[in-house]
Every structure is written in structure tokens, then in C-alpha cells.
Amino acid sequence: MPWRKVSIMDQRREFIAFARQEGANISELCRRFGISRTTAYKWLRRAQQEGETFQDRSRRPHRQPRRTPPEMEQRILEVRARHPAWGARKICSWLKRRGVLEVPSASTIHAVLQRHDCLLQPTPAQAYDRFEHPRPNTLWQMDFKGHVPLGDGRRLHPLAALDDHSRFCVTLEACPNEQRGSVQASLERAFRRYGLPGALYMDNGSPWGTAGRAERWTRFDVWLLKLGVRVIHGRPYHPQGRGKIERFHRTLKSEALSARPLADLHQARRRLRRWRHTYNFERPHEQLGMRTPAEAYTPSSRPFPSRMPEIEYDEGEIVRKVSNVQPEIWFHNRTFRFRVPKAFLGEHLAIRPTQTEGCYQVCFGAVVIQNIDLKNEPD
């Protein structure tokens, strides 16, 4: 038959009962119970001092000289309370930058957060190839976060633009809508402060425009092209192409938008303004080697012009002005009439020949906006 399992408490209870009997042989009892004499007398001493208590005691040491001091734990928890979405590495870097002496390692800070039940559930990450431009202001990414309900019944539409190289947030606007006027006004303020980027990477649809369509161009695109800012649209249904701005929006949501509900647009603007400063100048970024975005960013050497420049063409080029009423141009002694995108109403366009006979490119400055083929046009 199988052996009966005996708990350690039952074993101690039996040993103490036998050991207390008159004339008990402690050495023989130790042999039978499989314990040392030291353990036996320890059990007897505890039974005499504490009564019939046979449970295991904690093996935790009475003193822990290497444990994080309570003052440092409190400092860690204070930083975490101010920035609930920060992990151990960000908190460690933040404390060191503030000149705090004897900052614990990131693993120790993680243990402190775990001990105080301050850890968030990790978000599953998707594996994408990372790419960044080698210098600041080569490319900015810009997009809306998506609407956020406000306490007064209206909607907030957070708009952000991010430098691709440094992740520096050049603008974070609490917009009441997703219209061109709001976008252009926000971007103009960023241009005046930080200068012009080489290109702007945007989504598809209003107010950005849409890649691959005849009417892809918008007045917003034309404004950027006049400033010498190249317009790039992401592939439809491929948000990974805008990975940095998408990741920024996740951080914005977890650190600024999800913490407390927003009452109105005025409160939203104050909160986003404060959080943008924290993100740019205080929050360490893991992809920047725990530097802040402000430490990796330098303003552009191309200032925002005092007057909107006009597109200039070389002498001898075929240039046509688009009507202010109808989006069309005439060509070849008014033999052919071509429609052009409405965004170019009132603008001057160049018609440039290609290597194929009868084929031309319609250009706004150096940008090709459409192709024309005289052979396929009706007489």
C-alpha cells in the first residue's frame, strides 16, 4: 500500500509530543524523524516560547542592507505617479538627468514597481523594419490622432507633426475639426519656429490629398509645394509606413488622453501643451539611446519666408495659367484643352515634352502633376 503523506506541521506536532514525554530519548527520536539534534531542540524551544505553533517561518532575512532605501523607492513612485506610462528604463534615465545620486539600476527600479503593483500589462509589438532619416528636418510625419470625446459634448481632434530623425514633436494641436484651415495654421506656426522641412509625409484623404488619383492634389499640397516642401502620401491601408507618428499617438493616448477625461477644448489645449514639453524635453526615448527628442533635434536652416514665393520657370518653357474658374489649360495653339486638378486654379503650370513623341508632362515647378498624350486626344 502507498505511504501516507505527512505534513511538516504534523511531523513537528508528533515529535514535540514524544519529546516531552518523561524519559524520552531525543537522539533516537531525531533518527526516526530524520532530523538533526539542532533542529529538534529548535522545535522544542519554539514550542516552549510560542506555544503550539508549528507553521514554517519566513526565511526572509531580518536585515537587507542592499535593499533600495525607502527614500529612493518613494522618489521612484513619485516619478511613476507623474508619468504612469513610463517604464523602469525611462525612470532610471530621468533620475540620472536630474542629478540624483546613487540611482538604482533599471532592473531594481522594475522590481520596486513590481513590488508596489505599478506595472502595466505589456502591449504585443509587431515586428517592422525600422528606418529613420539621417538628419533632422529631412522628413516630418503628420497626422490626426482620431477624435476624442469632450465633457461638453464636442470632439477633440489632436493633430501632431513629428521629425522623422529625432522624434521631436514640432506641433501638437488640439483642433476642433480636421479641416485644411486648422492644419495649415498649426503647421505655419511650426514652420515659423523650427523652419521648413525637406518633405512632409501624410495620410490619404481630406485635407491631405490622395496618392494615385487624378484629383489627389489639394490646396494644402499646393501651399506646401510653393514653400519648397515635398509632399509624400503613404500607401492606403499601410499604417506601418507612418510608424513613428502611429507610435507617437499611442504614447499620447496612454500618457495624456487616457489619464483623466477632458472637459472642453480649452482644457485639452493646456494639457497637450504641457505634455508636449514633457515629451520633447524630459521623457527619455529608447530609440534615441535614452536621449530626449530635443537633444537629437536642431531647427531647420530654411526659414519660413515673409512672403509666399511663386513658382518660377526657365525662359523658353511652355507655361500656361490655369483659369480661376475652370480647371483647364489650352495647348498647341488652342487645339487641345486639358483638365487639371482644381487645386491649381489660378496657378501657372509648365508643359514639358518627354522622350516619347506627342507625350508631355504637366508640371507645377519640378513636380509632375499629370501626363498628356496628344495622339490619344480627340480631334
Residue 272 grid coordinates: 497637450
Model pLDDT for residues 314-340, shown as the tens digit of each residue: 888 899 999 888 898 888 766 678 888
What is the reported pLDDT for 67? 73
Q: Report whether pLDDT(342) > 80.
A: yes
Helices (H), the chain: 8-19, 26-33, 37-50, 70-82, 88-97, 106-115, 180-194, 219-226, 243-252, 265-281, 293-296
What is the reported pLDDT for 288? 79
**Between residues 3 and 170, which one has the greater pLDDT?**
170
Bridge partners (DSSP) listed for residue 169: 162
What is the reported pLDDT for 51? 66
Contact between residue 199 and residue 231 where contact means Cβ atoms under 8 Å apart: yes
**Between residues 32 and 293, which one has the greater pLDDT?**
293
Q: Report whether pLDDT(3) > 50.
A: no
Model pLDDT for residues 209-252, shown as the tens digit of each residue: 665 554 578 899 999 999 999 888 876 555 555 678 888 999 99
Domains defined along the chain, listed by start: 8-50 (1.10.10), 70-115 (1.10.10), 140-296 (3.30.420.10), 318-376 (no CATH)
**Highest mean pLDDT, choosing among 49-63, 94-108, 126-140, 293-307:** 293-307
Model pLDDT for residues 127-181, shown as the tens digit of each residue: 444 556 778 999 999 999 888 999 999 999 999 999 999 999 999 999 999 898 9
Count the alpha carbons within 13 Å of 299 in the hemisphere toward its beta carbon: 10
Looking at residues 44-72, what average pLDDT do you find?
69
Contacts of 163 (CB under 8 A, 6+ apart): 136, 137, 139, 140, 169, 170, 197, 293, 297
Model pLDDT for residues 364-375, shown as the tens digit of each residue: 988 888 888 887
Residue 130 grid coordinates: 525600422
Average per-residue pLDDT for the chain: 82
Contacts of 68 (CB under 8 A, 6+ apart): 76, 104, 108, 112
What is the reported pLDDT for 346? 92
